[in-house]
Amino acid sequence: MLLTPDFFQQDVLEIAPDLPGKLLMRKDSGGEQKAYRITEVEAYRGEEDLACHASKGKTPRTSVMYEPGGVWYVYLIYGMHWMLNVVTAEKNNPQAVLIRGVEAWNGPGKLTKALEITKAFNGRPLAKATGLWIASDNQSPDKNTVLQAPRIGIDYAGNYWKNKPWRYYLSV
């Protein structure tokens, strides 16, 4: 069942724990539809969150995060890897969920490479017509199989934000 933009207009801390176990759906250029089970995500919550790109205010790059939830936020990091995020919350509340892992792939950079995701998706809605969306099925895991831990690669954000357990992943 397709997760619509409505679902993504809640607080990121409501959404992020629900995403592990959901399906990332991709319709590639050949018209073939593939499903990847989401295994790991991280929440980035507003301008006050020093690990969130929006902590430095609204810029051309971060403006997508200020859109209403339900669109993709895609950016290039280290000059080589694309990061895939889902914008959440209401308009002008800059939050997003970073999709870190799906099934066999580990690492957010390898994920986007495997799914052929580039900046073309930035700002586009999560919808079938886009070719990239998120769905749920009846195999969604029990709540208590989703574990929490601190986010990765954000040492610069200071101890308070660095230690927030806002990474959510499926237990093995």
Q: Is-contact 2 128, C-beta < 8 A?
A: yes
Please identify, among the stretches 4-12, 28-36, 102-110, 124-132, the one whose residues bind DNA according to the rule CB under 7 A.
102-110
Q: Smaller CB distance to DNA: residue 107 or 137?
A: 107
Task: Check residue 115 for interaction with DNA (CB under 7 A).
Answer: no
Q: Which long-range contacts (CB under 8 A, 24 or more apart) does 28-32 make?
A: 28/116, 28/131, 29/116
| Closest separation in Å from C-beta 54 to DNA | 7
Contacts of 171 (CB under 8 A, 6+ apart): 145, 146, 147
Of the candidates 14, 33, 34, 56, which one interacts with DNA according to CB under 7 A? 56
Distance CA 13, CA 43 (A): 7
| Closest separation in Å from C-beta 123 to DNA | 11
Q: Is-contact 34 26, C-beta < 8 A?
A: yes
Of the candidates 19, 71, 111, 134, which one interacts with DNA according to CB under 7 A? 111
Of the candidates 16, 71, 96, 117, which one interacts with DNA according to CB under 7 A? 96
Q: Which run of H or E residues covers position 114? A: helix 108-114
Task: Check residue 164 for interaction with DNA (CB under 7 A).
Answer: no
Task: Check residue 78 for interaction with DNA (CB under 7 A).
Answer: yes
Alpha carbon 87 to its chain's center: 7
Of the candidates 7, 44, 121, 168, which one interacts with DNA according to CB under 7 A? 44
Q: Smaller CB distance to DNA: residue 31 or 60?
A: 60
Q: Name the nearest CA neighbour of 74 among 37, 123, 12, 28.
A: 123
**Footprint of DNA on this chain (CB under 7 A)?**
42, 44, 51-53, 56-57, 59-62, 65, 73, 75-81, 83, 85, 96, 98, 106-111, 151-154, 156
